[in-house]
């Protein structure tokens, strides 16, 4: 029996898939526990703050980890020099973004997020920006060298420590919703710091890391990736602020709007992310595999197999969500509305996988600007259709319709671009 070679696409996909499934399964169990422990309002405050974390982290690291993975995979590269350059760039960005976020934290919560009760969670989120950003850079360094073990160990360690810290913090009695949301965020900060320490322990550099070199090429490749991620995280932060407000316009009270938002983003969406672990792992392994080059027929075969696998696995999970969504919602959360959301999310199981894999293919082929155009087209449509959330007859269903339409456009644009790029090889 032949086993996949270490460093091959099959090996990397299997390892990253196992890691992602483990981490997201643990995270999903934590979300189920949080939904029961916190209640709708506290969980809604936590979910309201979390997209801001993604936005600020993107401003700090952007496309630097993916750029590192691509550049470190190229023949004749100097990984230590690339790491040194990336760390220093990210350090400067953290000083600017982290300092600005700290100074403007209360106005952001009060006026953008719409409630000052999110302020404790927002403040306790800020230290995690350094830990998570630094960890992403080290992970990009390892992925570029096809060393997937350190990242896998670090992610599992971070999730286990996060769960332990969160459970410990939330054992405090008589917590207000704002305090409970803040302590939940503190648990994440502790976990991410532990993951960074694990990655740093694996990073054995040979001698001094050297001067900062190649910054222009690094920035050139990472710029469209940064814009792409800024669009995604910015849309997430804007959506987190918009949905509760649009739900109140539709006739719900503020408390009921936060509860509905928590059911969607804190209960239904994590299951979709868990399902997406396979396609995400495949996309992560594709970037260095395609960037390393090789014969054109081999690259074409690898790309088409990846897209076919993503489509097949997506269809299976879509069927599970559509036919089993109601049962999952009732058994896990004892809420019928979560089951309805899962059924509406069924097409996303297919579309999100196709978007992940096709975007990774375009990045590996050096067509990151094309991937950016596809994302902008899809997210522009999604943002416009999000206003349907204010329609009383649709509410959360209107947002899920917008989400599905946006991903469908992005997947279509990306797949067409992939086919053209592969024929041109």
DSSP result, 135-147: HHHHHHHHHHTT-
What pLDDT is recorded for position 131?
93
38: pLDDT strictly greater than 90: no
Query: What is the rounded distance in angstroms from the CA atom of residue 70 to the CA atom of residue 287?
Result: 6
The enclosing H or E element of 394 equals none
127: pLDDT strictly greater than 90: yes
**Closest residue by Cα to residue 284 from 8, 12, 6:** 12
211: pLDDT strictly greater than 80: no
What pLDDT is recorded for position 208?
45
Gyration radius from the chain CA atoms: 21
206: pLDDT strictly greater than 60: no
| pTM to 2 decimal places | 0.72
63: pLDDT strictly greater than 70: yes
In a domain, 149, yes or no: yes
In a domain, 108, yes or no: yes
**Could you give the residue ranges of the DSSP H alpha helices within 62-176?**
64-73, 79-103, 105-107, 119-144, 149-169
pLDDT category at 3 given cuts 50, 70, 90 is: very low
209: pLDDT strictly greater than 50: no
102: pLDDT strictly greater than 60: yes
Residue 286 sits at the vertex; the CA angle it makes with 281 and 289, to the nearest 5 degrees, is 135
- Number of structural domains in the chain: 1
What pLDDT is recorded for position 2?
43
- How confident is the model over 146-151, as a mean pLDDT? 84
pLDDT digits (tens, 9 = 90+) for 181-199: 999 999 999 999 999 999 9
Query: What is the rounded distance in angstroms from the CA atom of residue 408 to the CA atom of residue 56?
Result: 27
What pLDDT is recorded for position 349?
94
Lowest mean pLDDT among 9-18, 122-131, 238-247, 334-343: 9-18
316: pLDDT strictly greater than 90: yes
7: pLDDT strictly greater than 70: no
Q: Which residue has the tokens 């269809």?
A: 315
- First CA to last CA distance, the chain: 34
Query: What is the rounded distance in angstroms from the CA atom of residue 218 to the CA atom of residue 143?
Result: 16
Query: What is the rounded distance in angstroms from the CA atom of residue 144 to the CA atom of residue 285?
Result: 9
- How confident is the model over 65-76, as a mean pLDDT? 77
In a domain, 340, yes or no: yes
What is the token pair recorded at 222? Answer: 């990472």
Query: What is the rounded distance in angstroms from the CA atom of residue 291 to the CA atom of residue 289?
Result: 6
Asked if 365 contacts 375 with a C-beta cutoff of 8 angstroms, the reply is no
What pLDDT is recorded for position 229?
81
pLDDT category at 8 given cuts 50, 70, 90 is: low
Lowest mean pLDDT among 63-72, 80-89, 274-283, 323-332: 274-283
pLDDT digits (tens, 9 = 90+) for 83-94: 888 888 888 889
What is the token pair recorded at 32? Answer: 């189920």
Which range, 95-99, 148-152, 291-295, is most confident? 95-99
The SS3 of residue 126 is: helix
pLDDT digits (tens, 9 = 90+) for 325-360: 999 999 988 888 999 999 999 999 999 999 999 998
Domain encompassing residue 234 = 9-423
- How confident is the model over 240-255, as a mean pLDDT? 88
In a domain, 1, yes or no: no
Asked if 335 contacts 263 with a C-beta cutoff of 8 angstroms, the reply is yes
217: pLDDT strictly greater than 90: no
Lowest mean pLDDT among 14-28, 126-140, 365-379: 14-28
Lowest mean pLDDT among 234-238, 341-345, 412-416: 234-238
In a domain, 4, yes or no: no
pLDDT digits (tens, 9 = 90+) for 381-407: 999 999 999 899 899 999 999 999 999
Query: What is the rounded distance in angstroms from the CA atom of residue 16 to the CA atom of residue 148?
Result: 7
Backbone angles phi, psi at 276, to 5 degrees: -75, 0
Give the up-direction half-sphere exposure of residue 259: CA atoms within 13 A in the CB hemisphere. Answer: 11
Query: What is the rounded distance in angstroms from the CA atom of residue 141 to the CA atom of residue 79?
Result: 7
In a domain, 270, yes or no: yes
In a domain, 266, yes or no: yes
What is the token pair recorded at 293? Answer: 């080059």
Cα torsion 128, 130, 136, 138 to 10°: value is: -130
Query: What is the rounded distance in angstroms from the CA atom of residue 350 to the CA atom of residue 276?
Result: 9
Lowest mean pLDDT among 48-62, 115-129, 205-219, 409-423: 205-219
How far is CA 342 from its chain centroid?
A: 19
Torsion-angle region of 213 (φ positive above 0: left; ψ -120 to 50: alpha; else: beta): beta
Query: What is the rounded distance in angstroms from the CA atom of residue 14 to the CA atom of residue 33?
Result: 28
Task: Summarize the chain as % helix, strand, coil (round to 5).
Answer: 85, 0, 15
Query: What is the rounded distance in angstroms from the CA atom of residue 21 to the CA atom of residue 159?
Result: 12
166: pLDDT strictly greater than 50: yes
pLDDT digits (tens, 9 = 90+) for 47-60: 888 888 988 998 88
pLDDT digits (tens, 9 = 90+) for 170-181: 998 888 999 999
Query: What is the rounded distance in angstroms from the CA atom of residue 178 to the CA atom of residue 294?
Result: 54
Considering only residues 372 and 314, tell me which one the structure prediction assigns the higher pLDDT.
314
Give the contacts of 242 (CB within 8 A, at least 6 positions apart): 386, 389
Is the Cα dihedral 74, 85, 136, 375 positive or negative? negative
Give the contacts of 146 (CB within 8 A, at least 6 positions apart): 6, 7, 12, 73, 288
What is the token pair recorded at 403? Answer: 């989400």
Average pLDDT value over all residues in the chain:
85
């Amino acid at each position: 029996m032949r086993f996949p070679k270490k460093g091959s696409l099959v090996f990397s996909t299997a390892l990253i898939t196992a890691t992602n499934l483990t981490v997201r399964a643990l995270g999903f169990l934590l979300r189920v526990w949080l939904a029961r422990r916190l209640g709708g309002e506290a969980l809604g405050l936590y979910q309201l703050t979390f997209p801001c974390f993604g936005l600020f982290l993107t401003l700090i690291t952007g496309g630097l980890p993916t750029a590192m993975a691509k550049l470190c995979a190229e023949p004749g590269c100097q990984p230590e020099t690339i790491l040194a350059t990336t760390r220093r760039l990210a350090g400067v960005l953290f000083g600017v973004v982290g300092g600005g976020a700290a100074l403007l934290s209360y106005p952001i919560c009060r006026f953008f997020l719409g409630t000052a009760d999110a302020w404790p969670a927002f403040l306790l989120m800020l230290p995690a920006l350094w830990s998570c950003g630094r960890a992403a850079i080290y992970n990009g360094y390892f992925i570029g060298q096809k060393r997937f073990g350190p990242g896998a160990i670090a992610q599992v360690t971070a999730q286990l420590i996060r769960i332990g810290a969160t459970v410990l913090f939330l054992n405090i009695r008589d917590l207000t919703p704002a305090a409970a949301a803040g302590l939940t965020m503190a648990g994440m900060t502790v976990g991410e710091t532990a993951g960074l320490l694990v990655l740093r322990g694996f990073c054995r550099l040979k001698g001094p890391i050297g001067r900062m070199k190649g910054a222009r090429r690094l920035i050139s490749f990472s710029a469209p990736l940064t814009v792409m991620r800024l669009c995604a995280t910015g849309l997430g932060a804007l959506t987190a602020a918009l949905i509760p407000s649009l739900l109140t316009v539709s006739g719900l009270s503020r408390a009921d709007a936060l509860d509905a938002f928590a059911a969607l983003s804190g209960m239904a969406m994590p299951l979709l992310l868990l399902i997406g672990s396979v396609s995400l792992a495949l996309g992560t392994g594709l970037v260095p595999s395609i960037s390393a080059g090789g014969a054109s027929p081999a690259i074409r075969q690898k790309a088409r197999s990846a897209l076919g696998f993503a489509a097949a696995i997506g269809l299976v999970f879509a069927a599970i969500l559509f036919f089993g969504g109601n049962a999952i919602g009732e058994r896990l959360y004892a809420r019928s509305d979560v089951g309805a959301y899962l059924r509406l999310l069924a097409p996303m199981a297919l579309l999100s996988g196709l978007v992940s894999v096709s975007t990774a293919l375009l990045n590996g082929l050096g067509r990151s600007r094309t991937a950016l155009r596809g994302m902008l087209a899809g997210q522009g449509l999604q943002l416009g259709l999000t206003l349907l959330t204010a329609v009383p007859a649709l509410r959360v269903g209107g947002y899920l319709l917008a989400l599905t339409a946006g991903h469908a456009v992005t997947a279509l644009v990306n797949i067409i671009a992939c086919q053209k790029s592969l024929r041109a090889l």
